[in-house]
Amino acid sequence: MSFDAGTVLGKRYRLIARIAIGGMGEVWKAHDEVIQRHIAIKILKEEYVGSRDFIERFRTEARHAAIVNHVGIANIFDYGEEKGIAYLVMELVDGEPLSAVLERERMLPVEEVLRIVVQISRALQAAHSAGLVHRDIKPGNILISESGLVKITDFGIARIGDQVPLTTTGQVMGTVHYLSPEQAAGKKADAMTDVYSLGVVAYECLTGKRPFVGDSQVAIAVAHVGDTPANLPKDIPRPVARLVLGCLEKQPQRRPKSAGNLADAASALLKDDLAEAARAYPPLAASGEQNGSGQVLDNQTKAISTTTSLYSKLGQFDTRLLGQTMEFNGGSESKPARGKWVLPVVGTITALAVIVGGGALAIIVTGNRGGLTETKTGVSTHDVTQTAASYIPTIVSPNTRPAGNTVVIDPGKYVGLSFDGVQKALFALGVGIKRLSAGPAPSADKAGLVESISPTGTLTIPAVIDVKVYGPPVMTPPAFAPRLIGTPKIGGSVYVSWPVYTSCPAGSQVTLYRISVDGAVLQGPGTVGADTTQVELLLIQNEASVKYSADCSVPGKNQTFNSGFSDVLKISTNGSHTPSIASSG
């Protein structure tokens, strides 16, 4: 059945506006007429209501979320079935999913990631203490509110520790990029599973890419079981890198022994207290740095001592709560600036969990952005090695200085430099920073650089400076689909080729191509160098498809931007495929 604004469910929930619609259902903003509050309602699609499995999962989500009362877990208030529909009544959260943040920002500052880890770990510990394992921790199930509060959503595939799962024996539950090795191997998921998945999330937040990728879900699952994640970049403080890689240990007993211990360790690192962090996770006290297999790496500097500043490369931060009044868009709003935390200031974003495909993803509706605009690029989240990453706009607080002091701000000293360098320099002067978007970078080598600052000249402390930073450049997908060479038949080989990609942004050049194949097997790696424009395929199905994308890198810099995929070449063995060509010329 269709729904309209004004429809009343359960004789009390009046639908106001549909926020999102997905493969399995839709989410509405609604009003509880009994207790007079706004809520969200997740409605299962009519065709799934007759499925016992879908209905049971819907009920399970309601029951599981109701077990735990924690500020870090999105509340579910009610469940109902009527008129051939099933629905959940949920908390309406002002914020956005972490997946949307990563899609926009690619990477997050270290201290932001630690704060997210602390809050999610605390919420998971509450769930684990109640005997509940989430089993699907991923960015799409993590909401970040406008105030910086982090919440977990979607307990639809969670499981009580001593219950028999709803699925058949051996079926893997969870999202493949965030699966633990034990899940991938078909073993029972426990609290350590959630710790591992949160480690994957933290790794992705810090690097802009997931620790394990592959050409298929099976390949990714196998990588979780047997592969070692790449080291984190050297600009990540070593204890932080060790903690994240510790969560990715293949053997559960090598990970932090509980979500609570992980929260304690991350919280201690935020306070620059390595000794306290090591008490929560002893491997942090070791002299080397571990990878995901428990081995000590010798290609990085030894772990810093407790007397060395954890954030020496990030500048000195005051972690105390600093009360201050901030005026933006002509209005005044009193909020505490939270030290290392980067606090979103302008705009209201409402995020809700919506059923899409086999799980719940977060869908966002954006409100007033204070006149700011965002340009969507073709950069792939897991293909980017460095971009200008931070909330836009944001405000951060420096070390405090006595009120009334003055500083001189010369824009010539900051424009054209990296945001991190400008942030450190301005912090040293005792001023706050509000980061704004300067739009897409005009050339690839300017991504992440400061375009302008204001105000300038002589300023009186306390002061906040607007810093406009270039985002990633606009990327253009390849103009042509791959071309077929040869006659396709099952079990036989064909070749596909493509023209050289010539649309890299100024300041960058093609460094490799990425090939995505379905219904065939690449006879070689999934990425090839810039001088290769042809690959061989082994056809294993009657229908196959191929597409490709290009990576553009800035010479001498750790910056890579992906074009996005080309149109798809569809190959068929029944003669209706794209016409073959005689040669690659």
Best CA proximity match to 384, nearest among 317, 475, 302, 456: 475
Helices (H), 130-216: 181-184, 191-207
Cβ–Cβ < 8 Å for 63, 114: no
The DSSP symbol for 562 reads E
In order along its 585 residues, the chain shows pLDDT tens digits of 667 888 999 999 999 988 766 556 788 899 999 999 999 888 887 777 766 777 776 777 667 666 777 888 888 888 888 877 888 888 887 778 899 899 999 999 999 999 999 999 999 999 898 888 888 899 988 988 877 789 988 764 444 443 333 333 333 445 789 989 988 877 878 899 999 999 999 999 999 999 998 888 888 888 898 899 999 998 999 999 999 999 999 999 999 999 999 999 999 999 989 999 999 999 998 734 434 433 333 333 333 322 233 333 233 332 222 222 222 233 333 333 333 333 232 232 223 333 333 333 222 222 332 322 233 333 333 333 333 333 333 444 454 444 557 889 999 999 999 888 888 888 778 888 888 889 999 999 899 899 999 999 998 877 889 999 998 899 999 999 999 999 998 888 899 999 999 999 999 999 999 998 888 888 888 889 999 999 998 887 888 899 999 999 998 887 889 999 999 999 998 765 454 343 333
Best CA proximity match to 65, nearest among 360, 364, 365: 360
Cβ–Cβ < 8 Å for 237, 202: no
Choose the catalytic residue: 32, 53, 78, 136.
136
CB atoms within 10 A of CB 549: 22
Structural domains present in the chain: 94-137+151-297 (1.10.510.10), 368-471 (no CATH), 483-572 (2.60.40.10)
pTM: 0.49
**β-pair partners for 6:** none
Three-class DSSP category at 274: helix
Q: Which residues contact 238 (CB under 8 A, 6 or more apart)?
A: 289, 300, 301, 302, 303, 304
* Rg, the chain, Cα only: 25
Distance between CA atoms of residues 211 and 225, nearest Å? 12
Query: Which tokens is 70 given?
Result: 């924690």
**β-pair partners for 562:** 551
The CA-to-CA distance between both ends of the chain, in Å, stands at: 55
**β-pair partners for 86:** 81
**Vertex 376 angle, CA 219 and 110, to 5°:** 65
The tokens 């022994």 sit on which residue?
A: 257
Longest pairwise C-alpha distance within the chain: 80
Distance between CA atoms of residues 255 and 247, nearest Å? 5
The tokens 């991190």 sit on which residue?
A: 420
Cβ–Cβ < 8 Å for 133, 174: no
Q: For residue 16, with 0-12 CB atoms within 10 Å meaning exposed, 13-18 middle and 19 or more buried, which class applies?
A: middle
136 has catalytic annotation: yes
